[in-house]
Amino acid sequence: MAPLRVGVVGASGTSGAVAARLVAAHPRMVLAFATSDARTGESVAATLGMRLANDVRFAPNAAAVDHAGACDAVLLATPADVSMRLVPAFVDASKQVVDLSGAFRLEAKEYPRWYAMEHTAPALLARAHYGLPELFGAPPGGSFVANPGCYPTAALLALAPLVREGLVETTGIVVDAKSGVTGAGRQSGDAYSFLAVDGDVRAYKVLAHQHTPEVERALSRVASAARVTFTAHLLPVPRGLLATCYARPRSGATRERIQSCLVEAYGRSAFVRVVPPGDVRLSGAVGTNLALVGAAADGDVVVAIGAIDNLLKGAAGQAVQNLNLMNGWDEALGLEHLQRFAA
């Protein structure tokens, strides 16, 4: 069987570099091309510290579509405005597309408020499959994947089964989430660098974070219209993300039922592990494509917690997981070796 030829656009960024490494090490994929404005002309293997059978060199991002003929699939680790321009071209060229940006996660009317721009390809929004496999299954034929954001991935995996089973109210949900500095990306500026955050913790985009409507939209797909208050924080660590979610219980939301609900949801999952809430921690998820989830209930509150690696299950690892599913392969193919890093 010929390997799947995969291009990675934005391959020198935090998520894009991880995606390129995963593709290069995958048993059924080959890195067909990679783009980076910052590294144009440089060797991909030398820059990213990996082995490649062919001498792939970074092309400029503007030339990405020119390489469509050389690939079967493309992973876009690009800002939302760039993805809006590139996705239609790759879809029209009949390529498999996984977009790691937020360009195709919401309704068109929401982009001016949350992304400060009009959506330039609204006709494609209905074809985008929201790629959180544990909740929404494999991408259907004819779709392309809108890879979920890192914060929504952790929050939804912890919270959505409880919402779906009617164990918590869908309004008044609070998500308090904290990520390592790589979650902000390399283009976010010095204010979000490790040096700026070291010894400190800060909230950012308070009441204005684009992941708020993303979480609400996904929860509304499994129950009635959800309302969420979401706050993101940066931690003084390189990577890893923990989301603590608070909700009001409904009848039957005992401690035992809350935990058993998660076990029922993820009993056969390749990547989600249900653990006691006190064991949901970064050290168990960083370096893997795992998500650790746990929940507790007491009186008038339910607390659901999720932890992931923001660059793997929160970005590049989940993108490869979706690409595996698009091709009918085991979703863990090329990702199972990462589990050796789990605590």
Are 102 and 67 spatial neighbours (Cβ–Cβ below 8 Å)?
no
Residue 250's contacts (CB-CB under 8 Å, 6 or more residues apart) are: 166, 167, 168, 169
Are 71 and 32 spatial neighbours (Cβ–Cβ below 8 Å)?
yes
- Read off the tokens for 206: 């308070």
Catalytic residue of the set 71, 150, 245, 261: 150
150 is catalytic: yes
Are 290 and 272 spatial neighbours (Cβ–Cβ below 8 Å)?
yes
The single-letter DSSP state of residue 258 is H
Q: What phi and psi values does residue 8 have, to the nearest 5 degrees? A: -120, 115
Dist. CA 295–CA 82, nearest whole Å: 38
Please say whether the dihedral angle defined by the alpha carbons of residues 212, 213, 218 and 222, taken in this order, is positive or negative. Answer: positive
The residues annotated as belonging to the active site are 150
